[in-house]
Structure formats: structure tokens, C-alpha cells
Amino acid sequence: MKAIIATTVFGVIMMFAGLWVNDKKSIAGLATFLFAALLGVTIWDLTTTSVNSPKSLFNDMLRSEHYSLWFNTIMTGCSLLYVLLMGKEVQKVGKYVSEYFALIFFILCGLYLLSMYNNLLMMFIGIEILSIPQYILAGSDKRNLKSSEASLKYFLMGAFSTGILLMGITLLYGAARTFNITEMVTLMHSDALNPLALAGILFIMIAFSFKVSAAPMHMWTPDVYDGSPTVFTAFMATVVKSAAFFAFLRLFQVSFNSLSEHWVMVLAIITAATLLVGNVTAVFQQSVKRMLAYSSIAQAGFMLFAVLAVNAVAWQGIIIYAVAYSVATIGIFAVLVKLKDYTYDGFNGLAQREPLLAFVTTIFLFSLAGIPLTGGFMAKYYVLLAVVQQGQLMWLVIFALLMAAISVYYYFRVIIAMYFKAGTPEISSPVTGGDKFMLVVTCALVILLGVLPQLFLTKV
Amino acid sequence: MSLFLEISFSAMANGLHNWLAGSISNATLVSVTEMAIAGVSLLLFLVPLCFFLGYMERKVAAFMQIRLGPNRVGPKGTLQIVADTVKLLFKEGLTPNASDKFLFNLAPIIVVVTSMLAMAPIAFAKNFQIWDINIGVLYVSAISSLAVIGILMAGWSSYNKYSLLGAMRSGAQIVSYELSVGLSLISIVILTGSLRMSDIVASQADGWWIIKGHIPVIISFVIFLIASTAEINRAPFDLAEAEQELTAGFHTEYSGMKFAMFLLAEYINLFIVSAIAATLFLGGWMPFHLGNWSFFNNVMDYIPGSLWFMGKTFLIIFIIMQFRWTFPRLRVDQLLTLEWKYLLPISMVNVIIVTMMAIFGWHL
Amino acid sequence: MELYDILFWVLSAIAVSCALGVILSRNPVNSVLFLILTFFAISGHYVLMNAQFLAIVNIIVYAGAIMVLFLFVIMLMNLNADVEPQKGQLVQLAGVISGGILFLVVLASIKTAKAEIMDKTSTDIGLISNLGKVLFKEYVLPFEISSVLFLSAMIGAIVIGKKEEVKTSATAKMEHVSE
């Protein structure tokens, strides 16, 4: 709860900073400081809540369970990492630097709501708070037509999926007569089931699939991720997506667990389609940024495994996947914004010119592909383990492994371009010592995740 | 308070109700008949009212410009407006060929109907109201904000650039000034603690809000007058029909009866706005009382409530009509600056002050 | 049949047919006007449930403000039926089939649902004082948190709406190869 208040206040502080501070650098510095402070607040929240007794807040609107607070802390840490790596690039997007940071703080407010909600109303508000700043950030580069297109497309699609979500919530309310997701559980048994609830679950599932860009509803993702300013794509594809997944998992784990026989197959097909579309289409991309958009769809397919497996390991899986994926992707985007040309050819010969950049990029790509000793491997291991423990859907696990093998192809294309092709990559902004230090830290995090994943896990 | 007019209005309504209930057995039919009677009597009230307002407008204009005004048709020109109406009725109602004919013909009806609907909760006298809805104030502001839809329809369906421009201006104007109107209404609602018109009037039995509420209420009264003048598109805020720039604005293509309907709606809106101001700030049908002067208060009580209400309403109408000949028309940017940079911040601060006043009981 | 039932059915018929009109009419202005009518019918339903405050707020917010802005924008852009891109036959067919399947699923679930009859007599939850109490006691957190939502929307209006110095030729060059 303290984190929600803090992030709102910090957002407002950033808004006023835009009024009083004209220097973009000091605004970014202030934002970095506030993100660090926010991390402190989330840790404070975490340490003051006991593991076994979740606190119910405001008539059970929120429930601060330990794993929610842990997720909050980790995602705030990722945001801090993001600002440290890319704070400089945010300044280049446009005039309203302080507003961009304010919006990111508000997004984090939505994230905290989504990790702690215990009421469908709070979930809805959380999703909206998460989404609306993103539409704005997507369109923040007003000199670029593609950015405006991305913003509009994202907004229209998002508004549409929100409508579907509301429809689902309405049907669910009609069946359960409550918005409270834990009270709802008593009505969610196959014998006393109102069929309206099933339709509601279907609608909510579709809406969440929109938000996390799962396969039949993924159409907006490549255009939006490609068109938005690269710095903001990095944030959208990582922290925000993880938050949507966490909310997805929370609702389906807490409320619809006992009904899993009804929806598991639908979600399994969505997962398979997501893996297929994401991985196969990524192979054919010429732009690395667009490839990363498709790869984020593919990674969403893996994260869906956590939702599919309705057990305790799923929580650990989603958290470790979220952090592994976020850190690696933020790292890659941090390298990407340094380059002028986003095609594969733009990476040609990077190993000669900037050997360190090439090395960390390789590690990040290893992680995304799921090579052992990196965070990505452990993440994939945990989510697949969760499903295997359920003892069903083995075909899907095998299919996922196959798709992971395909993903190696397009991730390694970048590595091949960097190390084995000649060329002189154009660097748009100089790589300073600070940048290198932060990249090495990120890289270390990725490896740490792969070696000691227990550090990032919590008891559920 | 035993006065024949006051009693007779509410007694008439009650008697009618009892008679209908006695003669018709079906309860549904009774309420339907009552609604019909209320509607017809509203029409019978509104048409002469608009005649009078039209005449008054000309006379006030003449008064402001030191001239005589209409003085040929009828005694002192009183029949001039009748002659004008007859002329309008007999003119051909043109419908442009390129227009969206259905919307074009629908627009004036919507404008008139919305302004008539807003009459429902207005208290003409004690216990004499069409519908004493529990959210009367909100109802009026909601319904009156709908007139803009009719105006936009008229402007768009005419297929004429002046009409469209006029409608656009009107839309921007009404949507922005609605906020100030709403906020100044809210200040009285906060003081009264009720949205019901009859409660608001009853709360002013010991003094009108404009006297009881000190300066903050006077501020919101002034803001209400300015903003509602803008909301009904009257000069100096008549950009929607600025004749020098837009021919006649959104009703350029209208003639005959359909044009007369726009005119009718304008006068009804003027009356409603003034009636709301009179009810909320000047006590509606409540007579003017002064402290403990029982003799003075008794004399005041002998004036019927309906006369008090009409007197106050027409006082405000008179003020709004004077605006028209006092201030030059604003430019669009000035119009929006006035609302967003001056009226809205002032009324927001004012609402906070009024809230404090209501909490701590600082009002009289 | 009581007056209540007659009104209910009339309002429902208006609401459904106008909602159909929104998606079926070719002219966007007509769609918006149909949508306004739909909102009116829904407000009528609120009044039937003795929730006058909700009814009026529905009118103020949707019919009075949002729809007016909609009309505004659509009239400014002057969209017409012929501007709308026509989708191919195959896409239309696919849309019809998938929409029809979804419709069937929802219909089946509603058909077998346990319908609850609304209690007509004793509902005064929609009255403004009760609504205020619920809003500020039980639902105070969503009520307050939604201010963050509005704040970010306002920031968005400023960030996107305000003019920025435009570099004309730079736009095309900054594009990166895609697809």
C-alpha cells in the first residue's frame, strides 16, 4: 500500500519538476533518485508484511500477499535498472521528459494494483492505469508518423479489449453477484455453476490475451513495438507485460482454479498458437526491433504456461520468468538504442568496434533463447516444470521445446552478424563508461539468475 | 401564508388529480392523462411567454439604445411579435437539396424538446411543479446540455460551411461553459445539502442564499450568469450565429416554422436559465423577509409566491438582455480563455470556500 | 401489464434496435446519434430502477459530453460512407463466421443461465445519498485510485495535444526498414 501512495506522489513530483526544472539531465537524475526511493519503499512494504498472513486492505479491495509484494519489489528493481540504462535516451524522445517519467511512475501504480488486487474493480482500474500511459508513451515521438500510428493502433485495440474485459466482468458479476475474487471461489464449482460465469471467463481470457499479446490477439504487437520510441518499447515489452501476466495468473489461479477443466484447453490452444506465430514469424524479420517484438510474443507463449499450470510452482515460474525476460530484454534494447540502423546488417562488425557491447548482447540473447547458465534457461525450466507437475498437456511442453529450438535461429542471427560479418555499425550516441558499467551489471544479473535462481524466488 | 393564488395553483393541481382518480379507474391511465395535461398546459404557458419575451427583447434593446422600439402594430407595438409569428408561419420551409433531410428536419424538434424537458423540475409556486425529482438541479443541467446535440445536427445536416462552423463553435462553447455552470450550481447544492428543487427553495425560507451565503455565493451567482449566458448562446457569446462572420450560424439554412422553433427554444432556454438562477440564488417563490420585522414580512407574505418567482425570473432575464447591448462579442480565443483560465479556476476555488462555509456553518 | 412493464419493454426495444443502428448505419454521424439514443434508453432503465442519479449522470457524461465530442470530431473529419475502406469478401465471411460462433456461445450460456428477477419495490440503492455512502465507504479505494488514471490521461492530453516544433524532412529518414 505504501508503494502505491509513494509512486503516485512521485509521479506528481515529476509533473511539477517539469514546471520548475528546465534541465533535462537533472530531471532524469531526479527520476533515477525517485525510482531508487520507490525500490526502498517496496522493500519496506515487503519486510513489514509477514509471509503467512496476507493483509486485506480497504474492504478487501487489495490483499498484500507476500508473493505480490515480492513481485512489486522485483519489478520496481527492473524499472530502476531500466532508468539507469536508458534514462539518457528518454531525454532524446521529446520535450516532455518529466511527463514521460511521471507516466512511468503511474504505470508502476497500475502494476502494484494488478499484483495485489482482490476485487475485479481494482483489476479493471489497474489495467487501465497500466494501459493509458502506454498509449501516450507510444505516441510520444510526434515527429515520427509511425509513432503516432503505433499509439492510435494500440489505443484502439486496447480500448476494444477493455470493452471485452468489462463484458466479461459483467457476466461474471451476474453469475457470482460479487466482484471479490476470493469470495467468488465458493461459486466456482462445476456443480453449482451458472453458465454465465463460463462466458465471463472466456471474455476475460480473451481480453487478457490481448493485453499480453497472445496469438490470435497479437496483431497489434509488432506494429506498436516497432513504431513506438525504442526506449518506451523496452518498458512496454518487459515490466508492463509481466504485470499483465501476473494479473492474468492471479485471477485464474485464485478464482477459476476449480474450473480449470473448462478453460485449460482453450488456453492451451492459445499458448500453442502464440508459440508458433511468435517464433515462426520472428524468423522472417529483417529488423531486430521487429524481431524482438515477435520474440516478445514468443516469450508470452512461455509465460502462458504459468497460467496454464494452476499450482504453486506457477507463481515462482511467473516471477522468475518475468525478471529474467525483463532484464535480458531491457539489456538488448539498451544496446539497440545505441545503434542507428535497427536491421540485422546494422549489427555487422559490432564485435570489432564495441567488443563489450557485442559480448553483453550475446549473453542477453543467450538468456532469451534459454541457453543454460543464463536466467532464461531457469525461467523456461520453472514454467515448464509447473505444467509437467500438473501431469497433463505434455504435448504442449514438447511443442514448446521445439519452438525454443527455432528461436535459437533468429537470436543467433544477431550474434553471427556481430561476430562473423564485416561492417562498421553506426553508433547514434557514444557509449560512455557508465553505460558499459550498467550493461555489465545487467549481464551479471542475467548470469546470476541462471546460476542462483533461488535468490529471486520467494516462498509461496 | 393563506393566499388565494398560491392555494389555487396547488389546489388546482390537487383537485385535478382527485377528479381524474375518481373518474378513471385505471391507475396507469390516470398518470398518462396527467402527463398529457401537464404537457399541454406547459405548451399553453410557453407560447405566450415567448411572445412576451420577444416583445421584451425589442423593447429592452430600444431602451438601451434610447429609441422607441416597435410601436406601430397594436397599442405600443404589443402585437408586433404576433405579426412576426404569422409571417414566419406562412413562409415556405425550405430544405436544401444536399442536406441530410431527416436530420435537418429533426434538429429543430430536438432543440425545442430538450429545452421544454428542462422545465419539468422548476417550481413555479409552492407545491406547483411538474416533477419534483430528487436530483432536480442535476436534471436541468443534464437536459440543457443536450441542446447542443440538436445544434450540431442542424449545423451538420445543412451541408453549409457557415452552418457547420457555427455548430462547431456552439459545441465547443457549450461543452466548456457547462463546467462553470455546474460548479456554481454545486456551491448552492453544498449549502443546501439537497439536489431537490423544493428543498432548495425551502432552505431559503429565512433568507435567500445570495444574502445568506456572503461573497462566495455572490461570486457563484455572477459566474452562473456569465456562463449560462454563454451556454444559451446569447450575446456577447453568440459566436455560433455571429452574423458578420457566419451569416446566421447553425440556422442559416432554416426558414419558416423550423426557424421559429429555434427562436422558441432560445427564449425557453433564456427563461429556464433565469428561473434556475432565481430558484437557487434568489429563493424561488419565497417572499423577501427581513429579520424580525414581522410587519414588513407579513406584507411581503401577501404577495403570492408565483408572482415572486416570476418577478425574480424576469429581473434576471432583464439583466441578461442588457448584456446583449452592453458588451461586444468575444472572439473564439477570448471565449475559451475566459472559461478555462478565469471562470473555471475561480469557480473551483469558490466551491472549496463554499464547502468550508457549509462545514463550519459560516453562512447566516 | 403495468406501466412499469410497458416502459421496460419499450425502452429495451429502443436500446437494442438503436445499438444495432450504431453498427449497421453507414454514416458515422448517424451511428453516433444512434448511440446517444441508446444511452437515453439505458438511462430510462436506470430511472425504472429508481436510480435517477445514475440515469442523469449517464446522460451528462455520455450523451452530453462524450458523445458531443465524438460528434464534434466526426463532423470535423467529415467521414463519409465512401471513405471507409471496404474489406474483402473473405475477410467479411471470416468475421461473420467467428462472430456468429461467439454469439452462439454467449447465447447458449445466457439461455441456460439462472435468471434472477429484479426486485422492483425496494431498491433505493440508486438514490444519491445511498450511492454516496457506498462510494465513500466500501469503494473508497477504487474511487480515489481512479484519480491516478485521470491524471495520466490529462498528462496524455498535454503530451500528445501540444504542438512541438516539427522537422519536416526528418520524418521519412527516421523510419527504419520493416516488414
Residues of A in contact with C152 (CB under 8 A): 11, 102-103, 106, 129, 132-133, 136
In the predicted model, what is the mean pLDDT of residues C16-24? 92
Question: What distance in Å separates the CA atoms of residue A325 and residue A445, rounded to the nearest whole number?
Answer: 11
pLDDT at B78: 81
Cβ contact B–A (≥3 pairs, < 8 Å): no
User: CB contact, 8 Å: B132 with chain C?
Assistant: no
The full set of domain ranges for chain A reads: 2-456
Cβ contact C–A (≥3 pairs, < 8 Å): yes
Q: Residues A303, A306, A312, A315: is their CA dihedral positive or negative?
A: positive
What is the CA angle C57-C62-C66, rounded to 5? 135
pLDDT at A133: 93
Contact A63, A125 (CB under 8 A): no
Q: Rg of chain C over CA atoms, in angstroms?
A: 22
Residues of C in contact with A10 (CB under 8 A): none
Mutate which of C118, C176, C179 to test chain A, going by most A C-beta atoms within 10 A? C176
**A57 in helix, strand or coil?**
strand
Lowest mean pLDDT among A339-343, B212-216, C124-128: C124-128
CB contacts under 8 A, A 142-181 vs C, are: 142-146, 151, 171, 174-175
* pLDDT of A381 higher than 70: yes
**Mind telling me how many Å the CA of C54 is from chain A's nearest CA?**
17
Question: What distance in Å separates the CA atoms of residue C172 and residue C179, rounded to the nearest whole number?
Answer: 16
Name subunits touching C (3+ CB pairs < 8 A): A, B
If pLDDT is split at 50, 70 and 90, which confidence band does C172 have?
very low
Enumerate the H helices of chain B as residue ranges: 4-23, 27-64, 80-90, 101-117, 136-144, 147-157, 161-192, 197-202, 209-212, 214-231, 243-246, 256-281, 294-301, 305-324, 332-337, 344-360
If pLDDT is split at 50, 70 and 90, which confidence band does B282 have?
confident
If pLDDT is split at 50, 70 and 90, which confidence band does C120 have?
low
* pLDDT of C174 higher than 50: no
pLDDT at C177: 38
* pLDDT of A191 higher than 80: no
- The model's pLDDT over C60-94, given as tens digits with 9 standing for 90+, comes to 888 878 888 888 888 777 666 566 667 788 888 99
Return the percentage of chain A with pLDDT > 90, whole number: 42
* pLDDT of C18 higher than 90: yes
**Mind telling me how many Å the CA of C5 is from chain B's nearest CA?**
11
**Mind telling me how many Å the CA of B154 is from chain C's nearest CA?**
12
- The model's pLDDT over B159-182, given as tens digits with 9 standing for 90+, comes to 788 888 888 888 888 888 888 888
Q: Residue A147's closest chain C neighbor by CA?
A: C175
Cis ω for the linkage preceding B236 (within 30 of 0)? yes
The 10 Å Cβ neighbour count of residue C49 is: 18
CB spacing of B152 vs C71 below 8 angstroms: yes
Q: Which three cell numbers stand for residue C108?
A: 447458449
* pLDDT of C6 higher than 70: yes
Interface of C with B (CB under 8 A): 2-3, 27, 29-30, 33, 36, 52-53, 56-57, 59-60, 63-65, 67-69, 71-72, 75-76, 127-128
Q: Return the residue matching grid coordinates 497500475.
A: A110
In sequence order, what DSSP letters do the residues of C142-173 get, joined into one string?
Answer: HHHHHHHHHHHHHHHHHHHHS--PPPTTHHHH
If pLDDT is split at 50, 70 and 90, which confidence band does C121 have?
low
Question: What distance in Å separates the CA atoms of residue B222 and residue B3, rounded to the nearest whole number?
Answer: 33
Residue B147: burial class (beta carbons within 10 Å; 0-12, 13-18, 19+): buried
Residue A110: closest CA among A235, A256, A228: A235
pLDDT at C73: 81
**Mind telling me how many Å the CA of C177 is from chain A's nearest CA?**
6
* pLDDT of B4 higher than 70: no
* pLDDT of A173 higher than 80: yes
User: CB contact, 8 Å: B153 with chain C?
Assistant: yes
Residues of C in contact with A106 (CB under 8 A): 148, 151-152, 155
Q: Residue C2's closest chain B neighbor by CA?
A: B28
Name subunits touching B (3+ CB pairs < 8 A): C
Residues of C in contact with A11 (CB under 8 A): 148, 151-152
If pLDDT is split at 50, 70 and 90, which confidence band does C171 have?
very low
Question: Quick check: pTM over 0.90?
Answer: no
Return the percentage of chain B with pLDDT > 70, whole number: 97
User: CB contact, 8 Å: A4 with chain C?
Assistant: yes
Please list, in sequence order, all residues whose beta carbon lies within 8 angstroms of the beta carbon of residue B312, skipping any fewer than 6 positions away: B278, B282, B283, B284
Lowest mean pLDDT among A456-460, B217-221, B287-291: A456-460
User: CB contact, 8 Å: B135 with chain C?
Assistant: yes
pLDDT at A177: 82
The full set of domain ranges for chain B reads: 91-360
If pLDDT is split at 50, 70 and 90, which confidence band does C56 have?
confident
User: CB contact, 8 Å: A135 with chain C?
Assistant: yes
Mutate which of B102, B132, B145, B189 to test chain C, going by most C C-beta atoms within 10 A? B145
CB contacts under 8 A, A 13-42 vs C, are: 15
CB spacing of B135 vs C76 below 8 angstroms: no
* pLDDT of C3 higher than 70: yes
H/E run at residue A62: strand A62-64
Please list, in sequence order, all residues whose beta carbon lies within 8 angstroms of the beta carbon of residue A209, skipping any fewer than 6 positions away: A215, A216, A217, A270
In sequence order, what DSSP letters do the residues of A383-418 get, joined into one string?
Answer: HHHHHHHHT--HHHHHHHHHHHHHHHHHHHHHHHHH
Q: How far is CA C155 from the centre of its chain?
A: 23
State the amino acid at position A349 in one-letter form: G
- The model's pLDDT over C35-46, given as tens digits with 9 standing for 90+, comes to 988 998 999 988
* pLDDT of B300 higher than 60: yes
**Dihedral pair phi/psi, residue B328, rounded to 5°:** -75, 160
End-to-end CA distance of chain A: 20
CB spacing of B171 vs C76 below 8 angstroms: no
- The model's pLDDT over C146-155, given as tens digits with 9 standing for 90+, comes to 999 999 999 9
More confident residue, B123 or C19: C19
CB spacing of A286 vs C110 below 8 angstroms: no
State the amino acid at position B120 in one-letter form: A
Residues of C in contact with B133 (CB under 8 A): 52
Question: What distance in Å separates the CA atoms of residue C168 and residue C155, rounded to the nearest whole number?
Answer: 26
Q: How far is CA A440 from the centre of its chain?
A: 22
CB spacing of B146 vs C63 below 8 angstroms: yes
